[in-house]
């Protein structure tokens, strides 16, 4: 854990007021926490009278598009030159919900070249070196929770208005599986209570985030479960693999595979789940577990990635079939840990 000192908080507050070019970034293929936390911070800074520009590497999934302020987010994939200029001129650069610049994909080089003061706000383990300030806590449920704490640290809590609260709530809700994962702490619920008292309509956020599937997405889910899920009871594990042809058949849109990886964990006895999705030049690997099985270690060791103990991701540069086989090898290697 490394949380900034009160002195550092004062420093950050001072240079936020002194500088005009403030950029807030988050990771490639953003999830609810990525979008909720950058929008939350954006609204807080706005309340402070500090304008900022939010930049992410690629598209926002449709189920997050409605979040207050989402239309203001600049996408590097759509406007590379504009995004690049903003990053080049940035005096302060916030990195939210990622612990290493590789998660910015094509935007990474601009981040690396930037001379800005870099502030990390994140809950992933082992953040990389090179930031000027670390507001980093692995035990936090989500980055959105840390944005709330950050606002308190710099004395800006009064700027958490309803729009900000909706975004922070959406970030916490999605990263905790609606408060069902081990990472929800008493502090998480205290913060959520405060956000709700600021005007968040819980049912409305739930509806908009979770009950907003396209027909194609729902059918892709059905197909994945009925025909593409392989269950290995002897290893307490399961995986779902999807090829590019299948994605095409179901008119895949960004975000459509979100949450699929969690579904096999609802099977009695299953504690380890994988989703393997074929992309143009790699297979995207998503891993989830319940209990102590450290999927971030598996992603680091086998799939060029990382993440949290119970939720991690990475990439495989082998074919989809080879990647499936590699996953089965992992099961054999870790069989004693999976099914002692």
Close Cβ partners of 281 (under 8 Å, ≥ 6 residues apart): 317
Residue 313 binding partner per list ligand 5GP, Mn ion, none, with a CB distance cut-off of 5 to 8 Å that depends on partner kind: ligand 5GP
Helix (H) / strand (E) element for 237: namely strand 237-242
* Residue number closest to ligand 5GP, CB atom: 313
With helix as H, strand as E and coil as C, how does 48-63 read? Answer: CCCCCEEEECCCCCHH
d(CA 312, CA 101): 16
Residue 306 binding partner per list Mn ion, ligand 5GP, none, with a CB distance cut-off of 5 to 8 Å that depends on partner kind: ligand 5GP
Count interface residues toward ligand 5GP (CB under 6 A).
13
Determine if 146 is a binding residue for ligand 5GP (CB under 6 A).
no
Choose the stretch contacting ligand 5GP; rule: CB under 6 A; options: 14-22, 113-121, 181-189, 304-312: 304-312
Q: How far is the CB of 235 from ligand 5GP (least distance, A)?
A: 20
d(CA 180, CA 190): 15
Contact characters 121-140, ligand 5GP, x per CB under 6 A: ---x----------------
Determine if 40 is a binding residue for ligand 5GP (CB under 6 A).
no
With left for phi above 0 and alpha for psi between -120 and 50, is residue 177 left, alpha or beta? left
Output the CA torsion sign for 171, 42, 54, 300.
Answer: negative
Q: Which residues pair with 284 in a beta bridge?
A: 277, 315
Close Cβ partners of 214 (under 8 Å, ≥ 6 residues apart): 62, 251, 253, 256
d(CA 82, CA 321): 40
3-state secondary structure of 315: strand
Q: Which is nearer to ligand 5GP, 53 or 296 (CB)?
A: 296
Q: How far is the CB of 286 from ligand 5GP (least distance, A)?
A: 3
Q: Which of 88, 315, 326, 335 binds ligand 5GP (CB under 6 A)?
A: 315
Q: How far is the CB of 258 from ligand 5GP (least distance, A)?
A: 7
d(CA 287, CA 123): 17
Choose the stretch contacting ligand 5GP; rule: CB under 6 A; options: 40-48, 78-86, 133-141, 311-319: 311-319
Pairing mode, strands 272-278 and 283-289:
antiparallel
Determine if 311 is a binding residue for ligand 5GP (CB under 6 A).
yes
Residue 289 binding partner per list ligand 5GP, Mn ion, none, with a CB distance cut-off of 5 to 8 Å that depends on partner kind: none
Q: Which is nearer to Mn ion, 143 or 273 (CB)?
A: 143
Determine if 306 is a binding residue for ligand 5GP (CB under 6 A).
yes
Number of C-beta neighbours around residue 199 at 10 A: 12
Choose the stretch contacting ligand 5GP; rule: CB under 6 A; options: 1-9, 78-86, 187-195, 299-307: 299-307
Contacts with Mn ion, residue ranges (CB under 5 A): 33, 97, 142-143, 175
Tokens of 207: 């509806």
Determine if 308 is a binding residue for ligand 5GP (CB under 6 A).
yes
Number of C-beta neighbours around residue 106 at 10 A: 12
Contact characters 100-119, ligand 5GP, x per CB under 6 A: ---x----------------
Residue numbers at the binding site for ligand 5GP (CB under 6 A):
31, 103, 124, 286, 305-308, 311-315
């Amino acid at each position: 854990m490394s949380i900034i000192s009160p002195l550092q908080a004062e420093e950050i507050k001072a240079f936020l007021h002194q500088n005009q070019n403030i950029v807030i970034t988050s990771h490639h293929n953003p999830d609810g926490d990525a979008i909720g936390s950058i929008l939350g911070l954006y609204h807080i800074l706005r309340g402070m009278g500090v304008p900022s520009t939010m930049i992410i590497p690629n598209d926002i999934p449709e189920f997050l598009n409605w979040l207050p302020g989402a239309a203001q987010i600049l996408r590097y994939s759509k406007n590379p030159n504009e995004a690049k200029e903003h990053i080049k001129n940035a005096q302060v650069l916030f990195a939210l919900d990622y612990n290493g610049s590789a998660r910015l994909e094509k935007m990474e080089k601009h981040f690396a070249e930037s001379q800005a003061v870099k502030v990390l706000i994140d809950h992933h383990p082992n953040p990389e070196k090179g930031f000027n300030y670390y507001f980093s806590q692995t035990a936090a449920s989500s980055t959105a929770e840390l944005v709330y704490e950050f606002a308190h640290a710099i004395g800006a809590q009064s700027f958490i208005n309803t729009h900000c609260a909706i975004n922070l709530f959406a970030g916490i809700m999605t990263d905790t599986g609606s408060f069902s994962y081990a990472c929800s702490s008493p502090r998480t619920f205290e913060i959520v209570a405060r956000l709700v008292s600021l005007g968040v309509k819980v049912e409305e956020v739930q509806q908009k985030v979770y009950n907003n599937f396209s027909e194609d997405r729902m059918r892709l889910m059905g197909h994945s479960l009925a025909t593409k899920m392989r269950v290995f009871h002897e290893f307490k594990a399961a995986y779902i693999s999807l090829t590019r042809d299948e994605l095409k058949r179901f008119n895949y849109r960004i975000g459509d595979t979100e949450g699929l990886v969690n579904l096999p964990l609802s099977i009695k006895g299953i504690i380890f789940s994988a989703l393997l999705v074929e992309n143009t030049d790699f297979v995207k690997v998503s891993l989830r577990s319940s209990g102590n099985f450290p999927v971030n270690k598996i992603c680091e060791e086998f799939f060029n990635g990382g993440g949290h103990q119970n939720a991690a991701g990475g990439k495989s540069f082998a074919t989809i079939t080879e990647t499936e086989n590699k996953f089965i090898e992992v099961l054999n290697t870790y069989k004693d840990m999976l099914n002692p």
